[in-house]
Amino acid sequence: MEIRFQNLGHEHWKAEVMLAPACEGENLPKCCPELDKAAPWLAVAPALRDFKGKSEELALLHGHPELPVPRVLAVGLGPRERVSVDGLRKAIAHAVQHCHKKGFASILLPEPALASLPGGRERLIEECVCAALLALHRFSALKKTSADTPDPQWLALGFDGKSTPDEAHAAARRGEHAGEAVMLARTLANMPANLLSPEDMAGKARELAEEYGFRCTVLDENDLAKENMGALLAVGQGSVRPSRLVILEHAPKEHAGDNPLILVGKGVTFDSGGLSIKPASNMHQMKGDMAGAAIVLATVAALAREGAPRRVVGLMACAENMPGGRATRPGDIVKAANGDSIEILNTDAEGRLALCDALCYAQKHWTPVAIVDIATLTGACAVALGGEVAGLFSNDEALAERLRAAGGVCGENNWRLPLWQPYMEHLKSEVADIANIGPREGGAINAALFLRHFVADAIPWAHLDIAGVDWTDKNTPLCPRGTSAFGARTLLELARGGTQ
Ligand code: BES
Ligand code: MN
Ligand code: ZN
């Protein structure tokens, strides 16, 4: 769906349907003078008689000679004192899905209707655009073309001035880029593992680098061996598909010499558990174990696309965790890129192995202003926090606060968990410098502590564990069943807002 602007004044607004988001118990919002003039008629319009403005409520009105559009879709927001950006996002998505079902080809969102809602004008514009795009997104690449009604062709933001302020334009474009980044990450993470290997991830990265103009370098298994990345290599050695480290870089001219923000993503294209094999039920979900890497790729692509004034490096640690004849055995000891030996007591704790080498690489080749890694890392995090809030770990207060705020404004909430130092005890190995698992209890913390072991204290670092939030079992207005790419918007927001 294309995002358009109609900024010649309300007399010129045109679309098959206009959305009118309304608070519970209130009249329809002031969208344009015509709608206000039509208010007495609306008050008695049969379609609105039962409309209370409760959240999830919709009512479609047809035909009034005063109105610039043939239909108005009243969209309930719930009571004004409880209206939030999260609620507005869902309501807009719900309404756009309804328009799709009805077969409307074009939708108008009048910007004046947002004026009385909390959140700030530009934020609301960005969120509405992003929500409208996500509402229509489906993973349909592998299905025969369905008889589904086509998507609406465009959504226009209606401005009632003689011109659209640049800030409103920019906000809408941010929403569009954010929505498209999430959709890209979802498409990749929903792709089955037989169709998306570590090499395919690298191929996709190269393609996007070409399209949006950022740098992309791929390290193959020989390169990884030269970099002494024994941990990442260990994850992939039971698979016939070789591992890759994909290095992305967005470095606009004026910032080419800056120290970069570095984003690191877990890119396990399938996690069978390896020889410590997983139970059969739900194993298919492990095709999404590369969501972190997909999110990093989508974020860097979005930043390059909008020419963000900041140097950002993305590292995608890609491998397939399989129990083949060359697979790592429990008890094997490997060497990470920093020279530390790791005793692999459970081959299913592979994400931290892939990530630790990428973290070493980040510190060897750059002086990062900050490193943020994102990974579907532990079932324990899902148990601790459930399906709606991600785990956040950090060695730096300011970075943690920025990530909390970034997640909060875009509907991807995270909650800080402690890097509880005494638990480091549990990662001690009899025979190596560190073991790759601790006890089941505190599993998300143990994994985060393992990662921190590979990061210098002086470098602001944060880790987002998205294992619990990356998969949704039911369709919601903003996300169909499958992978959610939770965290893509957070990283984009962080990189846009500026880390130091
Ligand atoms: N990819 C999984 C974590 C995961 C679980 C993601 C469920 C999404 C949904 C990770 O590699 C894993 O297997 N972790 C183990 C660690 C354990 C062996 C210490 C886990 O959480 O059970
Ligand atoms: Mn695993
Ligand atoms: Zn995994």
Tokens, residue 375: 């990974």
Nearest Cα neighbor of 160 from 35, 3, 23, 21 is 35
Pairing of strands 154-158, 333-335: unpaired
Residue 99 has pLDDT above 80, yes or no: yes
351 in contact with ligand 1, CB cutoff 6 A: yes
pLDDT tens, residue by residue, 439-454: 999 999 999 999 999 9
469 in contact with ligand 1, CB cutoff 6 A: no
Catalytic positions, written as ranges = 278, 352
In percent, the amount of the chain with pLDDT more than 70 equals 99
For the CA of 381, the nearest atom of ligand 1: 21
- The pLDDT confidence band at residue 40, using thresholds 50, 70 and 90, is confident
Q: Distance from the CA of 352 to the center of ligand 2, in angstroms?
A: 9
Residue 329 has pLDDT above 60, yes or no: yes
User: Average pLDDT of 410-429?
Assistant: 98
Nearest Cα neighbor of 178 from 402, 499, 494, 492 is 492
Residue 498 has pLDDT above 70, yes or no: no
Q: Distance from the CA of 303 to the center of ligand 3, in angstroms?
A: 27
Please report the domains of the chain, with CATH numbers, ordered by start residue.
2-142+153-160 (3.40.220.10), 177-496 (3.40.630.10)
Q: Distance from the CA of 268 to the center of ligand 3, in angstroms?
A: 6
378 in contact with ligand 1, CB cutoff 6 A: yes
CA dist list (Å): 228 to 119, 224, 324, 450: 49, 6, 22, 18
pTM over cut 0.85: yes
How much is the mean pLDDT over the chain?
95
465 in contact with ligand 1, CB cutoff 6 A: no
In this structure, which ligand is nearest to the CA of 437?
1
Nearest 5°: the CA angle 459, 460, 462 is 125
Q: Distance from the CA of 241 to the center of ligand 3, in angstroms?
A: 16
Residue indicated by tokens 């609620």:
87
User: Average pLDDT of 74-98?
Assistant: 97
The answer to whether residues 28 and 35 touch, using CB atoms and an 8 Å cutoff, is: yes
Residue 6 has pLDDT above 90, yes or no: yes
pLDDT of residue 499: 41
pLDDT of residue 162: 66
Pocket probe for ligand 1: among 295, 321, 347, 348, the residue whose CB has the most ligand atoms within 8 Å is 348
Residue 405 has pLDDT above 60, yes or no: yes
pLDDT of residue 130: 98
- Give the total residue count for the chain: 500
Cα gap 337→332, rounded to integer Å:
16
In this structure, which ligand is nearest to the CA of 285?
1
349 in contact with ligand 1, CB cutoff 6 A: yes
Q: Distance from the CA of 392 to the center of ligand 3, in angstroms?
A: 17
